[in-house]
Amino acid sequence: MPASRGEPPPPSLPQAPARSSWLGFLPVSALEDNVRNMNIEAEEAYEVDEDDSEPVDSFCKLPLAFSCPRHLQPVQGVEMIMQTWRMRERMKTVSVALVICQNVGVDPPDVTKTQPCARQECWVDPLSLNPQRALETIGGNLQRQYERWQPRARYRQSLDPTVEEVRRLATGLRRSARDERVLFHYNGHGVPRPTANGEIWVFNRSYTQYIPLSIYDLQSWMGSPSIYVYDCNNAGIIVDSFRNFAEQHEREYVEQIRAGGPQAGGTELPPPPSLRNCIQLAACSKDQLLPMNPDLPADLFTACLTTPIKVALRWFVMKNDLGQLAPKVKLEQLEKIPGQFGDRRTMLGELNWIFTAITDTIAWNTLPRDTFQKLFRQDLLVASLFRNFLLAERIMKSNDCTPVSQPKLPGTHQHPMWEAWDLAVDICLSQLKNILEEDKTYLPSSFFEEQLTAFEVWLSHGCEERSPPEQLPIVLQVLLSQAHRLRALDLLGKFLDLGPWAVNLALSVGIFPYVLKLLQSSARELRPLLVFIWAKILAVDSSCQQDLVRDQSHKYFLTVLQDPAMLPQVKTWAVFVLSSVVQGYKQGQDEAVAGNLISICLNEMDEADPVFKQWLAICLGTLWDKHEEARGRAMRCNAPESLETLLLDQTPEVRAAAVYALGTFINSCSERTEHANTLDQNIATRLLQKILEDGSTLVRKELVVTMQYVVNSFPNNFMNLMRAIADEDDGTTLLSSSSTSTLGRVSSEDKLSRQVLQQRRSVVGIPQSMTGSVTELNRMGDLGILTTPKRGRKSVIGLAGVGTQHHVASLASLASMACYGPGVTAKFKPFYLKVVGGLMVLERDPDKEVGTMARQVLDTIYNKMVAAERERKGSGVFRSLSQAELHSVSAPGSPAKASFMLGDSPPGHNTTLPASFRQGLAGSVGGQHSLTLPSDLASKPAQAWLGRSTVSDISEDGGQETGVKTNFLAWSAKHFSSRLMNLGEDMVDLESEEYWARQWLYDRNEKVKRRAAAERKSVEEGSGRLDDQLGVVKIPQPPSVLAYEPYTSSLAVATRDSILLVGNKPGPSPQVTTSWGNGNSRVSQITSLQFCNSHERGLLVAGSDDGCVRVWRGWDESPHLVTGWTLLPEMVPQSLAGSRVSYGLQLAWSQPDQLLVGAGDAKNIRLWDCSAEVRLCDLPIQSDSCVTCLHMDKGVLAASFGDGQIKLFDYRAPPASARIMAFREHKQLVLSLKMQEGGKIVSGCTEGVVKVWDIRRQSSLTTLETNQPAVSLDIHQSAPVFAAWTSTQQISFHSLHEGKVLNQIRYHEGLLGNRLGPVNCLKFHPSLIQLAAASTDSHVSMFGYRRY
Mean pLDDT of 589-602: 94
The DSSP symbol for 684 reads H
Confidence (pLDDT) at 370: 87
Q: What is the mean pLDDT of residues 177-205?
A: 93
Asked whether the beta carbons of 1156 and 1192 are under 8 A apart, the reply is no
Q: Kindly tell me if the per-residue pLDDT of 1240 is higher than 60.
A: yes
% the chain with pLDDT above 90 = 54
The strand ranges marked E within 116-271 are: 154-159, 181-187, 199-203, 210-214, 226-231
Please report the pLDDT score of residue 1273 as a whole number.
95
Tell me, what's the pLDDT at 768? 34
Residue 748: its pLDDT value, please?
65
Which residue would you say has higher pLDDT here, 1240 or 1315? 1240
Confidence of residue 1276 (pLDDT cuts 50, 70, 90): very high
Task: Kindly state the average pLDDT of the residues 987-991.
Answer: 70
Per the DSSP assignment, residues forming a β-bridge with 93 are: 181
CB atoms within 10 A of CB 276: 11
Q: What pTM value is reported for the model?
A: 0.81
SS3 763: strand
The pLDDT of residue 908 is 36
Which segments of 1179-1244 does DSSP mark as H helices, in order?
none
**Per-residue model confidence (pLDDT) at position 583:** 93
Question: In the predicted model, is pLDDT for residue 351 greater than 50?
Answer: yes
- Strand-pair partners of 203: 210
| Per-residue pLDDT at 747 | 67
Which carries the bigger pLDDT value, residue 1299 or residue 915?
1299
Burial class (CB in 10 A: 0-12, 13-18, 19+), 1298: exposed
The b-or-e profile of 783-806 (16+ CB within 10 A means b, else e) is eebbeebeeebbbbbbbeeeeebb
Query: For 457-468, what is the mean pLDDT?
Result: 87
Q: Is the pLDDT of residue 263 over 60?
A: no
Q: Residue 657's pLDDT band (boundaries 50, 70, 90)?
A: very high
pLDDT of residue 213: 95
**Comparison of pLDDT for 275 and 654, the residue scoring more:** 654
Q: How confident is the model at residue 28 (pLDDT cuts 50, 70, 90)?
A: very low
Q: Which of 101-105, 145-149, 1315-1319 has the highest mean pLDDT?
A: 145-149
Residue 302 pLDDT exceeds 50:
yes
Sequence-distant (6+) residues with CB within 8 A of 837 are 777, 814, 815, 816, 817
Determine the pLDDT at residue 987.
Answer: 61
In the predicted model, is pLDDT for residue 39 greater than 60?
A: no
pLDDT at residue number 290: 93
Average pLDDT over residues 1292-1314: 81
Choose among 88, 92, 84: nearest CA to 509. 84
Average pLDDT score over residue span 1195-1220: 93
Q: How many residues does the chain have?
A: 1348
What is the Cα–Cα distance from 1336 to 80, expressed in whole angstroms? 55
Strand partners, 1191: 1198
Task: State the Cα–Cα distance between residues 502 and 87, nearest whole angstrom.
Answer: 19
Q: What residue type is 99 in one-letter code? A: V
- Neighbouring C-beta atoms of residue 868, cutoff 10 Å: 22
Q: How confident is the model at residue 751 (pLDDT cuts 50, 70, 90)?
A: low
Q: Confidence band (pLDDT; 50, 70, 90) for 733?
A: very low
Alpha helix stretches (DSSP H) within 340-484: 347-366, 369-376, 380-398, 417-429, 432-438, 447-460, 472-478
Of 1126, 1108, 1187, 1192, which Cα lies nearest the Cα of 1153?
A: 1192
Calculate the alpha carbon distances from 516 to 87, 537, 546, 773, 1104 in Å: 16, 11, 12, 53, 56
Q: What's the confidence (pLDDT) of residue 78?
A: 77
Separation of alpha carbons 193 and 201, rounded Å = 8
Which is nearest to 1062 in space by CA: 1095, 1097, 1029, 1033? 1033
Decide the pairing of beta strands 199-203 and 763-766: unpaired
**Mean pLDDT across 1206-1230:** 93
Average pLDDT over every residue of 543-550:
90
Which is nearest to 790 in space by CA: 820, 759, 769, 813?
Answer: 769
pLDDT at residue 273, rounded to an integer: 64
pLDDT for 87 equals 66
Under the banding of pLDDT at 50, 70 and 90, the label for residue 218 is very high
The pLDDT of residue 1115: 77
SS3 1138: coil
Looking at residues 207-214, what average pLDDT do you find? Answer: 92
Do the beta carbons of residue 324 and residue 317 sit within 8 Å? Answer: no
**Region 17-45: what's the mean pLDDT?**
34
What strand order describes the sheet that includes 1058-1063? Answer: 1041-1044, 1051-1054, 1058-1063, 1071-1077
pLDDT at 497: 92
Question: What was the pLDDT predicted at 627?
Answer: 93
- Provide the percentage of residues in the chain whose pLDDT is more than 70: 80
Confidence of residue 1021 (pLDDT cuts 50, 70, 90): confident
126-135, 273-282, 986-995: which has the minimum mean pLDDT?
986-995
The angle at the Cα of 799, spanning 797 to 803, to the nearest 5 degrees, equals 140
| pLDDT score of 238 more than 90 | yes
SS3 content of the chain, % helix, strand, coil (to 5): 40, 15, 45
Q: CA separation (Å) from 546 to 100, 550, 551, 553, 628?
A: 46, 6, 9, 10, 21
Checking if the pLDDT of 800 tops 70, the result is no
Q: What is the mean pLDDT of residues 1204-1221?
A: 92
Task: Report pLDDT digits (tens) over 100-140.
Answer: 999 888 888 888 888 888 899 999 999 889 999 999 999 99
Tally of CB atoms within 10 A around 87:
12
User: Average of pLDDT values for 1143-1151?
Assistant: 93
**With 80 as the cut, is the pLDDT of residue 265 above it?**
no
Task: Summarize pLDDT for 46-84 with one digit per residue, the tens.
Answer: 333 334 444 555 777 888 999 998 998 888 887 766 556
Task: Supply the mean pLDDT for the chain.
Answer: 81
> Does the N-terminal peptide bond of residue 131 adopt cis geometry, omega within 30 degrees of 0?
no
CA 391 from chain centre, in angstroms, equals: 45
pLDDT at 990: 76
208-217, 328-337, 435-444, 684-693: segment of lowest average pLDDT: 328-337
- For 1319-1333, write each residue's pLDDT tens digit: 999 999 999 999 999
CA dist 845 and 1081 (Å) reads 10
Whether the predicted pLDDT of 672 surpasses 60: yes
Q: For residue 803, is pLDDT > 60?
A: no
In whole angstroms, give the CA distance from residue 973 to residue 614: 11
User: At residue 97, does pLDDT exceed 90?
Assistant: yes
pLDDT > 70? residue 539? yes
